[in-house]
Amino acid sequence: MHIDNLHRIDQELCYLKNVTALLSWDQETQLPPKGVEDRSEQLALITSLAHARLVSETTSTALDALGSGEGLPALERDFLRVMRRAYNREVKLPAAFVADEARATGLSQAAWQTARQNNDFAAFLPHLKTMLDINRRKAEYWGFSSNNAYDGLLDLYEPSMSAADISTVFIPLRERLTALLQKIATKPAPDVSFLDQDYPLDQQAVFNALLMDEMGFDKTRGRLDISAHPFTTSIGPDDVRITTRYFSKNLLSTIFSVIHESGHAFYEMGFPPELRRTCLADGASMAIHESQSRFWENVIGRSHSFWERLYPMLQSRFPKQLNAVPLDLFYRAVNQVKPSLIRIDADEVSYSLHIILRFEIEKQLFAGTLAPEDLPITWRKLMKEYIGIEPQTDANGVLQDIHWSMGSFGYFPSYALGNLYGLQIHQRLLAELPTFDTQIANGHFDNIRTWLDKNVYVWGARLTPSELLMKITGEKLSVTPFLNYIETKYTEIYA
């Protein structure tokens, strides 16, 4: 009876989450400009209804009565664990704190936008301090076992992983990536001037549709739209939507967004029937979710085999621009390593270094060893050290990302951890499907998706990231497969 009550509440929460997802998707893709204000109110109402449902007397009574679910089937015990975690996250934050946080976040985001435009870190600084303070308090409400509040925040995105755990993998990662980057810098860069042509947007859209069909994106269960920043959202188990954007002078941007977001979408579409419409129909963590998107984007989407299959199709959409460009040059263009000031423009080699830099800064901010005032100086110093270049402006430096203005401290590591998880999973997949490259070259993505279905997606949020990794690979988190992949691939490309 208690378990039934919990399931009933969970199902309502799922539908309310779907509704919130639709309200947000619509805001990013369809909403007429003047509708924004009411949309915030609609979102706030649905969020507050969901909050009330989750922290209700019924939930707490059921959770108390059920304990750890002894005697229940494994699936129900996993369900109980995830429900309890969600309940604890919500119930521990006082209503007044949540209201303060929402207000401060709104102001902070607005201040950040202006500050970035005006390259004015000083204007953003007081808001950054407020967001740090709020998140320190939040970590205290949630609790953490180390002496750094940062661990309390990290746990939200990557359950049971501490800053110390992350450092263990980030230190060797940084050393070897920095070394590789320095080596590549001494090599001649390919001539990729063909990218700097006009690629008509309607043909980019036609190619994206074809690309999704090739990868096996089921359009009866999802769709592609346009938004300012690409994202994936689940409005229902059979309604998973991705977005992209188009620039006539940047053909690669939209293509790799579509592949990346499709990777997220395959995960969301792949949760098995018994998890649907429950809180278990979710990724194991943000990093595991990124492992899927970055696996499709990089390991598959930037592979030679992939373009053996897709490049002729791309050429036939852009004959004028690409017919004179051989496949091998195109392959080099999608794998060009070129240190960039901006994280989202970074190549596969330097991307993780951008993340490690942010992780180091976050860790020190919460440990109190770095004052917020000193952020711009520290940023430039670490950029020089890790990536070899430094920004002339804070707009292209410390102010570039939205995350801190939203108070999302602890989120960044997910991106780099996703790379590691992805390659560990890839290693296992290769062992079981040795024809991986041939399958891709022949457009047989179904075998790859089926393997991911059976080994990754099937678990939803039932396991923690480390449990899931152990289940799939029999191993703990490791940098080796990722570094082997990167070093082999780029040694070959850059001779």
Q: Indicate the burial class of 182 (C-beta count within 10 angstroms; 0-12, 13-18, 19 or more).
A: exposed
Contact of 224 with 208, CB cutoff 8 Å? yes
Question: Does residue 213 touch a copy of itself according to CB under 8 A?
Answer: no
Q: Which of 158, 261, 297, 348 is catalytic?
A: 261
8 Å CB contact between 352 and 416: yes
Q: Which residues of 356-371 are buried (b: 16+ CB within 10 A; e: fewer)?
A: bbbbbbbbbbbeeebe
Rounded to whole angstroms, the Cα distance separating 241 from 215 reads 15
Token pair, residue 467, equals: 């449990």
Asked if 23 touches a copy of itself (CB under 8 A), the answer is yes
Q: How far is the CB of 223 from a copy of itself (least distance, A)?
A: 6
205 binds a copy of itself per the rule CB under 8 A: no
Neighbours of 130 (CB within 10 A): 18
- Closest distance of CB 22 from a copy of itself, Å: 6
Give 325's contacts (C-beta < 8 A, 6+ positions apart).
Answer: 194, 315
Residue 223 pairs with which residues in a beta bridge?
241
Q: Choose, by CB under 8 A, the member of 1, 4, 37, 202 that binds a copy of itself.
A: 37
Q: Which two tokens stand for residue 93?
A: 């934050």
Q: Residue 168 corresponds to which tokens in the numbers above?
A: 């263990």
Q: Which is nearer to a copy of itself, 32 or 474 (CB)?
A: 32
Task: Out of 5, 7, 26, 272, name the contact with a copy of itself by CB under 8 A.
Answer: 26
Q: How far apart are CA 83 and CA 10, in angstroms?
A: 8
Beta carbon nearer to a copy of itself, 38 or 492: 38
Would you count residue 51 as binding a copy of itself (CB under 8 A)?
no
Q: Is the dihedral of CA 356, 358, 363, 369 positive or negative?
A: positive
Interface residue with a copy of itself, options 19, 72, 327, 470 (CB under 8 A) = 19
**Interaction of residue 273 with a copy of itself, rule CB under 8 A:** no
Of 16 and 195, which has the nearer Cβ to a copy of itself?
Answer: 16
Using CB under 8 A, pick the residue from 152, 159, 230, 237 that binds a copy of itself: 237
Using CB under 8 A as the binding rule, whether residue 222 contacts a copy of itself is answered as: yes
One-letter identity of residue 100: D
Burial class (CB within 10 angstroms; exposed 0-12, middle 13-18, buried 19+) of 249: exposed
Does the annotation mark 12 as catalytic? no
Does 39 contact a copy of itself by CB under 8 A?
A: yes
For residue 236, report the phi and psi dihedrals to the nearest 5 degrees.
Answer: 175, 165
Is the Cβ of residue 239 or residue 401 nearer to a copy of itself in the bound state?
239
- The maximal CA–CA distance of the chain, rounded, in angstroms, is 70
Stretch of 197-205, 220-228, 317-325, 373-381 contacting a copy of itself, by CB under 8 A:
220-228
With CB under 8 A as the rule, give the number of residues binding a copy of itself: 33
Which residues 275-304 are close enough to bind a copy of itself by CB under 8 A?
Answer: 277
16 binds a copy of itself (CB under 8 A): yes
> Could you say whether residue 223 binds a copy of itself (CB under 8 A)?
yes
Report yes or no: 382 and 361 within 8 Å, Cβ to Cβ.
yes
| Least distance to a copy of itself, CB of residue 20, Å | 10
Question: C-beta of 38: minimal distance to a copy of itself in Å?
Answer: 4
Site membership for a copy of itself, residue 403 (CB under 8 A)? no
Q: Which is nearer to a copy of itself, 30 or 392 (CB)?
A: 30
Of 219, 245, 320, 381, the residue at the interface with a copy of itself (CB under 8 A) is: 219
Let me know: does 40 contact 24? Beta carbons within 8 Å.
Answer: no
Give me 197's structure tokens: 């042509």
192 binds a copy of itself (CB under 8 A): no
Q: CA–CA separation, 467 vs 94, rounded Å? A: 32
Which of 31, 93, 125, 470 touches a copy of itself (CB under 8 A)?
Answer: 31
Cα–Cα distance list, 83 to 23, 44, 54, 92, 154 (Å): 24, 22, 9, 14, 19
For a copy of itself, the closer CB: 21 or 470:
21
Closer to a copy of itself by CB, 49 or 458: give it: 49
Piece of 10-18, 166-174, 389-397, 456-464 that binds a copy of itself (CB under 8 A): 10-18
Of 330, 360, 187, the residue nearest 255 (C-alpha):
330
Closest approach, Cβ 222 to a copy of itself, in A, equals 6
**Candidate list 238, 274, 432, 446; residue touching a copy of itself; CB under 8 A:** 238
**Which of the ranges 20-28, 113-121, 386-394, 420-428 carries the binding residues for a copy of itself, by CB under 8 A?**
20-28
If the CB atoms of residues 236 and 481 are measured against a copy of itself, the closer one turns out to be 236
Instruction: Select from 159, 230, 236, 263 the one that contacts a copy of itself (CB under 8 A).
Output: 236
Q: Which of 4, 41, 70, 191 binds a copy of itself (CB under 8 A)?
A: 41
Choices 66-74, 229-237, 281-289, 438-446 (CB under 8 A): range interacting with a copy of itself: 229-237
- Please count the helices (runs of H) and the strands (runs of E) in the chain: 21, 3
Secondary structure of residue 472 in the 3-state scheme: helix
DSSP structure string for 105-150: HHHHHHHHHHHHHHT-HHHHHHHHHHHHHHHHHHHHHH--SSS-TH
Give the residue numbers marked as catalytic. Answer: 261
Using CB under 8 A, list all residues that contact a copy of itself: 12, 15-16, 18-19, 22-23, 26, 30-35, 37-39, 41-42, 45-46, 49, 219-223, 235-239, 277
